[in-house]
Every structure is written in C-alpha cells, then in structure tokens.
Structure 1
Amino acid sequence: MFSAQRSSEHRGQDDLLTAGLGIDGLRAMAPPAFADAGHPTAQELRRRAIWSNWRGIADLAPGGGYGELFGSVAAVPGREFHAYAKVPGANHPHRVMLQLPDAFDAGKRCVVVTASSGSRGIYGSIAVAGAWGLPRGCAVAYTDKGAGTDYFDLDTRTGVTPDGTRAALGAPDLAFVPNAPVNASGVAFRHAHSGDNPEADWGRHVRQAAEFALQALDEALPGAAPFTFDNTRVIAVGISNGGGAVLRAAELEGDWLDAVVAGEPNVFLDAPGARSLYDYTTEAALLMPCAQLHLQGLPQPPLAAQVAPLWTARCASLAAAGLVGGSDTASQAQSAYERMLASGWTEGAIRAGVLSTGFDLWRAVAATYASAYGRYGVGEHPCGFSFAAQAPDFSARAATAAEQAAWWSDASGIPPGAGVGLVDRSLAPPDFGYAGLQCLRALNAGDGEDAKRVQAGIAGTRAQLPRARLPVVVVHGTDDGLVPMAFSSAPYVAAAQAAGREVRFWQVRNAQHFDGFLGLPDYAARYVPLLPYVYAALDRVSAHLDGDGALPVDGVIETVPRGAGKALEAGNLAMP
C-alpha cells in the first residue's frame, strides 16, 4: 500500500510544528529564503512549506489572538515519516505523513488524522491538526488526499521527488508524472490532470493516512508495537475540503475511528438544500461579481473602485444573455443579487464572497474541478483551460528554474498562484472571462458528452451519513462565502440528526471561510476566526472519549466583531 518511504528527525532549531520559525518567523512577511533559488535543499523546502501553509490557514497577525487566546506554536521536537499511498483503482498515489513528537505517550496512544484543506500539499493541515495534536503529545497523520503541490513542468519534463526537490523524468519515485503528449507545454498537477477523481476517494485517503500512522508507529516504537485501531485512539479533523474528507471517512465501515471534527466542510449529500461545490461555484463565478455591486460597504480588498468596471461589464453580459433583468447596472445588479438569494445564498455569504471574486477563486476552482470530475488529462479540458507560467499579457510562457523550485513549498494546489496561471484561450474584452465561465457552468446541467462526464464525477462525490454512534462535531461560519453553510453543513447535519447519528453542530456568527485573510484590517474588524472553535470542539470530543463530559450541544455562537484597530479578546469569541 505504501511506497517511497522515508523518515527524518526534527529537533533543536527545526521542530515539527514550525520548523524552528516560531511565531515571529511565521509572521514574517517574506518566506524563508533559499540559499540557491533554483536548487533549494529539502530542509529549506520543508521550512518554507510549513511557513506557507501556516499563513494560508491561520491568522497569525498581532492582535488576532493566535497563541494567546487559542492555538499553539510551541516548539515540538520529534520525527517525521513520509510515504506515497494509493487507493485501489487510482492512477496516481497521494502523499501521507506522520509527525511523531518525542513526547508521544505509548501508554495513552493518540493519533490525530487529517487531510489538507483546499488542494494544499502534505503540510496543508499543520495549523489545524498539528497545532492541536502535537503539543498534546499526539501523533498526527496527514494526507494531501490526491491533490497537493507536486507540479510537473511539461516543458522541461521535470517533477517532484519524495523530499520536495525537483528531478527530471525518469528519476525514481517522482510524486506525479502525468500522461501527456511529448510536445505538451505548461504545467500539470495532480488535482486537475491525474485522470482520477480524488474527491470521490477522500474518505479512503484519510483512512490510509491512519493506517500509515499505525505502521510508522510500529517502526518508530517497536517496543510498544503493535499499534492497532483497537488499542490506539484515532480522531479525525479537517477544515474546508479537509473537513469534507474527514466526514467522508466517517461513513466508512469498521470501528477504526473514534471521533470526527469537521470545520466549514465541503460536503455534498442527497438532502434538501444541498448543492454540489461545482454547482454553486459556477453559479457564483457568473453571478456574484454583478450581485456584489448591489451591496454597499463590501470588505476590502478588493478595492471597489478597481473592480467596479469589471463587475459592470459582467452585469451587461448577464443582461445580454437574459440571465438577469434590468436596463442599467443598478437594476441588473439587484436582479443578480435577488437571483442568488432565491437559489439559497445569504447576504452574509455574498458579502464575504468578495474575497473569492476579487482573487478569481471561483474561476480557478471551477476550471480545476471540471477537469478532475471529468477525469481529463493534459490538453483535454472541455472548456479549453490550461495552466502555465504567464507573461504580462496572460499568454503562456516557460517557467524559470526558480519558479519551478518553489512550487512545492509555495503553491496552494490550484493555480493561479506561485507563478502558475490559469490560461483561458477564450479571453476577450470587455468581460474577459465570461465565455469560459459560460462553458464551465454549462457542464453542470447540460446534456452533452462532456457535461455528462463531469456530472458523473460530481455524483461520485456524494457523501453518506456517518456510521452509527460515531461522535461528530461540525463547525461552520454563518458568513462563509466560499462553502456556504446552507449548501453543505446544514443539510448534512439535518440528515444525520434525523437518522439518529451522534452529530453536533456549532454555527459561528460573523465567521467566514478564510482565517488567513483576517490579517487584513477590514476583515479583522468584521469577522472572527473559525480555528478557535475547531480546537474547542477537539477539546470537547477528546474529553468525552476520556469519560469527562458529554458531547457539546448544538449552538449558534453569538460572537462580537472586534471592530477597527482593536485586538481580539475572549469576549469577542463568546466560546461556548
């Protein structure tokens, strides 16, 4: 089941949780430098990947409360164990890792298993699972769940080795080698180009990470072996896509999992109100820029004056296609806004969704997931999208050696970002991305061959209910603008509770999807972080498993935004 296994020690100035950076190093605006930008060492790549993933997930800014009101960046010495794992039927493996702290107590065996948020690499949940589990002496098992940052450069035919460094095609154990034409150009990555539908296997990815944890513990602590699911506590936790992954793990048969905490999960099941990620993402990609013109006082960035011309062009495109009514921009924006409300969006989600609109995230997610759901390879995207380094005019160009070297540590797993762009051959003024978005949206409900192929992939991601008597706590922000609670957590919890499952639900007022953006003053003033509630839910389920209390009750947590220029205080969180 596992291949390319390796281990490493991390002590002194290179610990498990922060790679020796500590809070000050994690807060630094510039990433840890490479001595040779084109040829970083494995240690440099690891440190930078940890820096990047902490900053992408947590608000570490002074005044944000991290390390004071909640969370830990304490130095945790220990060892890491890495491998590739492969689910039956998959074309490509996913990465798994175990972080084993020196303080692990073999007499009180605890493993926290997690999956990366979004499409991040193997360290993509370190601020979630690692920050809670490692300081408590738990081993933490990770999976990139079939996505990750093992980008393959098609021009130079180079990929990523087990330790994150790059090597040419033909080197042993490259993490991802796409099936691509010899003359292909640009960048390929596992989530879009593996020919697999990784989301359909998220639960199995999580279980394999837990199985790898037991094997690595046997190897690391032979005197305490064997480690089994019967004698080792296993708690699963994740946020966003990682939250969806641990809920998919919760439905698997067998008494291998002891509890689950899922934050803002991307989960889709057949229940009233539920919608697939692809459905509401492609809807938002088209309608939200116009709808947001109807709202005053949107969070910034993006700066309203900069985006207003682009969003006005979108309103005109939608009106010309008959998708919104109105003869001027104001009435068209109101029509788009009302249409989104009618399909289940809340004003809070539309308002917070300005981040995804401003950073072009809707289009990026839709293009990548269309490729994954349809199991398309390099050069096969049904809407003509591809991925490459880009020139200032958005045309594709060859990536530099320095850009390639930093992909593994810096990328989020879905371009644009880290020097890789989303190439849309249909770009045309005045509404540059509209034609491509229309194509992506049509795949959701059309009846052509490509649409049926994508829809089959979406159907394969439907979740089932968690197994009976498994404690599950779901935590979600009511203002989530990327994975709206109304389409994901709320219908999942309602169906699970109606079926008598042990599922609890915390709805957090004034919380949106991205804690990492709370370092921006306007977002910090309006929103509270979600991570403290994920940590608190882990505390509660751990105590419950110890026999020290019941599972938390359902609750709507009435938080208090801190306001402009103020530090977060315990009273703002209103922790239940």
Structure 2
Amino acid sequence: MRTTDPARAAVRRLVPLCAITAAVLAGCGGGSSATDDSGAASLLSSSPRGRSPILIEVPGRGKPLQVTQHSVTVYPATSVGSGATPAEQDLLTGGLGKTGLGAALPPGYADAANPTAAELRRNALHGNYRAILDPSAAGGYGRFYGPNISVDGTVTTGEGLIPGVEYLASLDDGGGRKRVVMAVQIPDSFDTAAPCLVLGPSSGSRGVYGAIGTSGEWGLKHGCAVALTDAGKGVGLHDLQNDTVNKVDGTRATRAAAGSLAQFAADVGDAALAAFNAVLPNRFALKHVHSQQNPEKDWGSDTLAAAQYAFFALEDHFAQRGKSMRFDKSNTLVIAGSASNGGAAVLRAAELDRSGIIDGVVASEPVTEIAGASGFGVALGGAPVEGFKTLADYVTYGNLLQPCAALAPDAAMNEVSVFNFMLIAGMNARAQARCAGLAAKGLVSGTTTQEQAADALARLHAYGWTVEHDRMHNAHWGLGNGPILSAMYPVAYGRFSVLDKVCDTSFAAVNGLGDPVAASATAVAQSFATANGTANGTPVTPVYDASPGGPKAWQLARSASTGALDFGLDTALCQRALVTGADPVTGAPLTASSTPTLAQSQAVQAGIAEVHVDGDLRGTPTVIVAGRSDALVPVNNNARAYAALNRSREGRKSNLRYVEATNAQHFDTFIPLSGFDNRFVPLHVYFNQAMDMMYAHLRNGAALPPSQVVRTTPRGGTPSLVVPAPALTATNIPPISATPAAGDRIGFTGTTLTVPQ
C-alpha cells in the first residue's frame, strides 16, 4: 500500500467490467470504464450482456491482454465431507479438511473415467497441497503447520475449512496461444476495513492450485484474498493420438470441442498431426514445453496480471453484496509469496512492478536466472564459491554427470529408500556405463568407475553444487529430475513445436520395458488432479526416440555412440549442446548441419536471455528463504547469487533479507520417505515464518529479521522403510531470529555475500 510515491503510475487498466449475478458465470458482459486522477482504471459494474473479455495492461506488453472469466463459485462447506460438489467444498481443502488432506489418497470418483470438474478440483487441492509439504504427523503436519493450525501457531482440533467464493479466469493474448489460468479466492473472513491480497504463482510447472499449500493457506488463514495462477505452466496435456486436451476446469475434451476453453493445445494442423502420429504414436505435448511462448519470461507479468484481476474480483464480489468499494494498491496490502518457480515469479513480479502494487515479497527456494557473476560474489566461511549459472546450464550439465557422480564414495546413499536408484535392478550397471561413456569422450577423468565418479562429483562442485548435496545426486537422478528438466526447458526456451522433435525426444506413457504405449484413459481423464505439468510419469515420461532398437524411456535408453545401456548419453549430450552452442565432446561450435543445429541452439540461448533476472527490487521489502541442502535449485546458483546480485544493484538501499536453513532441501513432500526423514527438516516452516514476519512488518512496522543462517537439527534415528525417524520437535526447527548470533549472520563485504559455514 504505497500511497506516498506519486511517481509510480498505475499499471492496471480493466475494461469492460461486469457484475456477477449467478453462482457460476460463463462470460462477462459489456460495460464501461473511467480513469481517476492517478491513471488507475475505475471499476464500474454493469449488467452481463453477451461475451466480452476484460482487458489488462501488464508491464512489457505491447497491447493489453484479455481475461476471460469462466466461473464464480461459492464454496460454503462448514463440515468435512466428500467434496464431490461445490456445496461440499471450501477454498483450501476441497471439503476434505485437515484429516482428508493428511490421507495418502484422495477420495475416489463416481465415474473414474469421467470425473466431474468439482471432483477434479477437490483432488487437485489434495494433490497440490501434499506435493509442497511433508504431510506426515511425525514430520510436523497438524502440529507445526496445516489447516488446523491457527495464525498464532495454536494447534486446534478443527479441520481448517475456509468457506468463500472463487473466481476462475484465464488470461490470453487475444490469439488463443497464450493461456494463463487464474483463481481468485475470497474467504468469508476477508476484512474490508483492512484488505489484504496474497499473490501465489504456482511452484514447478504446476497448475493453478500449485501454491495452495504455501501462500494459499497462509493468505486464506489471515483473511486475505488469494490470487493463484499457473503463470502459463500447468496441466495442459495434449494427447496427440486422440487429439484431446484439458479444459480450464480440468475436464477433458477433444481439441475442437474445447476451443478457447482448452488449457493448452499444440499449434499443429490436422494433416501435420496425422503425419506425426504415424511416425510417433501415443505421444503428448505439454503446455510448459510446447506452448511456443517461453512462459518463464512472463512469470512476473502474469503474477502482476493476477493481482490486477484480483482487484476486479474483489470489487465485483462486494458489489453483489450492495457494497460499492474500490480495491487497489492504495488501500490493499499485497504480499507476493511462493516457492521454487513460484518464488522466481514473485521476485520477477517485484522487479517489474514500477507501479507499486506489491508491498512485500517472500520467495522460498527461488529459481533465479542469473547471467554470470558480474559485479558481485559469494563467499562461504570466507572462501569464494562457484556457481552463478542459469537453470538450463546447470540442469543439462548435471544431467550428464549426476548418474556417474552418484557412484562416488562421498555421494553414497546407503539407505534402503525409494530414492536410492542404485538399488533398482540394473540402474547401478547403467550408471557405470554412463561413467565409462563420459570417460571415453573425455568428459570425466579416471580409469576406474570409482575414479570417474569422484571426478564427476568434483566437477559438479565446480558448477555450484556443494558437499551438502553429495548424497542427494542419487535421489535426484532416481526421480528423473535431470532427464525431465533437460527434456523440457531447452524446448520451452527455444519455442519449438512438438513437431520439431528436438534431440529426438518426445513424451509418452511407457510400459515396464520403457516402450511407448497408449496412456491409460483413466489416468489421462484424472490428469488435472494428479499431474504436475512435467513429464514425471503421471502419465508421461521423456522418451529418447533415437535409442538404438527403437524409442525407449530415458531409464532404459541406449546410445548409438557407445552401444551401451547408459541412460541415453547421446541424448543428454544433444540437450547440453542446445544450451552451450558447442559440441560437448569436441568443443566445436554447432553448424547448420550438426545435431542439434546452430539455429536451434541460438533459439534456446535467445530464450534463456529473455528470462534473466534484473536483481533490482527498488527497495521492496523481501525475504528469501532457502535450504542449504537443496540439490535441485542449488543455493550458489540461485538464492545466494540473487541476494548478492540485488546488493550490487541496490547497494544499501536494498531491503532484502536472506535466510538459509541447514538440513533443508527442495522437496519437503519426500521427507517421510526413508533416508530423508532422518536427515532433513521441513523448509516450509520457514516460509510460513517469513510470511508472518513480512505481514507484521508491513501492517505494524515490525522490523524484518537480519539475514542469517538458521541452524537446524536433523531428527536422526536409523533409516528404515518401516520405522520413521523420531517425530519433529521445536528443537529441530529453531525459529528465524530477530537477533542472530554473530556467527550466524549473513552479511556483505562490498558486494560479496558472506555466508558463515
């Protein structure tokens, strides 16, 4: 709520505007708009007439974007139920409550092959909530966080249902190619005398409810409206074989029947699609990968657009209750908060926000795309650290080396765990083959597998990973993070069509032998609730189509250059070349006839340049929290680097605080699985604390905490698939301190971020 800076012009323009007179509305009617002295659009209600979009101007756009409102639904649930209908649901838990969200499985569908939109929403809330945090009681759910925890931290016996109204809309560029889904949730507890809004772009590639367990829950509990958005990612699975797509409400339809209601449909003609299917049947196109929009470049502006739509939704909502009210930056407290890619989105939104819509930012484990260490540095325990690479750079590099590095003694993950991929039949031998292939091509040194693995691990250290990550490489490779992200991000950055078949990689469901097969119709029908927008196997996975003998899933792919079953080393090399512009083996620049081509690499590099962060938050109060053990988004390449970059841009005017928690990593949801519960504590508790501190700072003037290392204590115990680690206690997760000890303070020497060991 910045009312003292008249130089910051308003960004929002909304026209026409419509009043909502029904619980569910398919479109908006015509109306009019006016502009006040500040340049912000006034919101005028009108009767719904026909179908007309809302127009929003956002930073960096040459023309306004269109917002199509799909529904306004009341979710009044006051007791736990099946959540099968809107009347049985609430905003946060889909009517399931704390108990239902804590259950390993969501409720079933009345017709599993034809789930309703309400059933899909309910189960999407269940899946997205549990995907972000540790849902086990021993890990803290229901005791340190969860729907039943009050805003002051009191553990209640309630189920935490939050009734209210939800506005569902989508944003596009008028051409039907860009599709950003937004859900504005207004709890019944919203206080018009002290209005607040929380912006929650989704983490990862998740759909519109991706931030429900982080900023969504925090905002709703505090009586704030919450603006959720997929930021151009989300569950948009185009089944190319059957030409079906997810609609905005999650249900499936043919591409033709879905029309403008499709979450995403690949831009391919019927003839081209038929030709593609004849060669590569049963394949899928993914929204984040194949939209040809490079959605990451718009994460910040999409987040700001969601804020602008939320102001409209608030005014419309209260107009229906006979209250003519205005909500905007001058009277509404706005906090942008999210995790991972969502953390990146809120930082980028603040960088773009020259109108002062956002009052404060909380970013957990953010992905920050930094173009090298120019003008800043990072030191750990007094020693300079390596890193400062972009996501595409370190992901494709790690994808080459991680399976080999995981064999190093220092990286040994000895726990009997679902994440220890070395325990899976054949994986150890394939990892050894990857080491041998890398050595033969001069990409690692050593004559024995152990020597090659140790060298691979050392090379990862030089690229930004640290010793805290050594025992995570095994797990991350087993999860497929390297192959999945390497198959996704270069294609997204290059704005390639699914028809381009970049690096001979596609996406399909596979059988136990790794062969592409027709996806289960039921799995596809339920994908809105179960998939996370990536190719993580629900229901599709990366397939290496050039694998000798026929297309194979990455786990079982061979390489033509080695003849070995080595996780498709040739494909990994191709993906690496897309990012670097050179042959990873010879170092020779790519050409017009190489694989990949120079033009393809140039397209990828241009896309990466579009997503570089600026680092200038213009004094916006910001708290970044990150886990020191995060091997997916290493702190040297991301959180630490961004804090240093910001200081180099803003100097002492910076209002950023950086909190680094030891023994915390990227995936809280995996902590209950053996090997993780003994070693790691949840980072989620520090996101919640940071949101509390930001709210107190903005609402009451409380000081933000100094930058610091929070030294946590692992739960310990003996790794076991049967016996969990001892239950998490307050001793394991000490709070962010208002007065950290000198040995825990993170500071600066010039523009070098100094982090204590």
TM range (shorter): over 0.9
* Pick aligned residue for 1:359 from 479, 482, 505: 479
* Pick aligned residue for 1:204 from 301, 321, 330: 301
Q: 1:322 Cα shift? A: 0.7
- State the TM-score, normalizing by the size of structure 2: 0.74
Q: 2:262 is aligned with what amino acid?
A: L
Paired with 1:337 and 1:537, the residues of 2 have a C-alpha distance of 34
Aligned 8 A contact 1:373 1:456 in 2: yes
The residue that corresponds to 1:337 in the other structure is 457
Residues 548-559 of structure 1: matches in 2 within 5 Å? 548-559=701-712
- 1:393-419 Cα distance to aligned partner (Å, 9 max, x none): 323233332122011111010113212
**Partner SS, residue 149 of structure 1:** coil
The residue that corresponds to 2:138 in the other structure is 63
The residue that corresponds to 1:469 in the other structure is 619
Aligned 8 A contact 2:411 2:473 in 1: no
**Partner SS, residue 255 of structure 1:** coil
**Partner SS, residue 546 of structure 1:** helix
Q: 1:192 Cα shift? A: 0.9
The residue that corresponds to 2:72 in the other structure is 7
Paired with 1:383 and 1:281, the residues of 2 have a C-alpha distance of 16
Q: 1:170 Cα shift? A: 2.1
The residue that corresponds to 1:246 in the other structure is 346
The alignment's C-alpha RMSD in Å is: 1.6
* Pick aligned residue for 1:318 from 423, 438, 444: 438
The residue that corresponds to 2:96 in the other structure is 21
The yes-or-no answer on 1:453 pairing with 2:606 is no
Q: 1:89 Cα shift? A: 8.8
For structure 1, list consecutive stretches of 5 or more residues without a partner in the other structure: none
For structure 2, list consecutive stretches of 5 or more residues without a partner in the other structure: 1-65, 78-87, 149-159, 278-282, 374-386, 548-557, 559-563, 582-589, 591-597, 718-724, 737-757
The residue that corresponds to 1:441 in the other structure is 576
* Pick aligned residue for 2:545 from 414, 420, 425: 425
**Partner SS, residue 403 of structure 1:** helix
Residues 389-538 of structure 1: matches in 2 within 5 Å? 389-427=509-547, 428=558, 429-446=564-581, 447=590, 448-498=598-648, 499-500=650-651, 501-538=654-691
Aligned 8 A contact 2:394 2:463 in 1: no
The residue that corresponds to 1:302 in the other structure is 419
Paired with 1:346 and 1:296, the residues of 2 have a C-alpha distance of 11
Paired with 1:373 and 1:525, the residues of 2 have a C-alpha distance of 38
Paired with 2:450 and 2:687, the residues of 1 have a C-alpha distance of 40
* Pick aligned residue for 1:177 from 251, 254, 265: 265
Count of aligned residue pairs for this structure pair? 576
* Pick aligned residue for 2:166 from 72, 75, 80: 80
The residue that corresponds to 1:148 in the other structure is 234
Call closer, same or farther: CA 1:400–1:341 in 2, change over 3 Å. closer
Call closer, same or farther: CA 1:444–1:397 in 2, change over 3 Å. same
The residue that corresponds to 1:382 in the other structure is 502
> Percent of aligned pairs with the same residue?
39
> Which is further off, 163-172 or 359-368?
163-172
> Which is further off, 12-21 or 206-215?
12-21
> Which is further off, 309-318 or 75-84?
309-318
Aligned 8 A contact 1:288 1:350 in 2: no
Aligned 8 A contact 2:405 2:411 in 1: no
Q: 1:314 Cα shift? A: 1.2
Aligned 8 A contact 1:193 1:377 in 2: yes
Q: In proportion to residue count, which structure has more helix?
A: 1
Aligned 8 A contact 1:72 1:132 in 2: no
Paired with 2:192 and 2:69, the residues of 1 have a C-alpha distance of 26
Give the greater-gyration-radius structure (CA): 2
Aligned 8 A contact 2:388 2:464 in 1: no
Paired with 1:529 and 1:324, the residues of 2 have a C-alpha distance of 35
**Partner SS, residue 175 of structure 1:** coil
> Which is further off, 15-24 or 120-129?
15-24
Aligned 8 A contact 2:147 2:161 in 1: no
Call closer, same or farther: CA 1:88–1:506 in 2, change over 3 Å. farther
The residue that corresponds to 1:164 in the other structure is 250
Aligned 8 A contact 1:379 1:386 in 2: no
Aligned 8 A contact 2:366 2:638 in 1: yes
Paired with 1:130 and 1:392, the residues of 2 have a C-alpha distance of 38
- State the TM-score, normalizing by the size of structure 1: 0.97
Q: Which has the higher contact order (CA 8 A, sep 6+)?
A: 1
The residue that corresponds to 1:94 in the other structure is 180
Aligned 8 A contact 1:370 1:454 in 2: yes
The yes-or-no answer on 1:39 pairing with 2:114 is yes
Q: 1:342 Cα shift? A: 2.1
Q: 2:732 is aligned with what amino acid?
A: N
Q: 1:4 Cα shift? A: 4.1
Q: 2:293 is aligned with what amino acid?
A: D
Q: 1:382 Cα shift? A: 2.2
* Pick aligned residue for 2:366 from 265, 270, 273: 265
Paired with 1:302 and 1:384, the residues of 2 have a C-alpha distance of 28
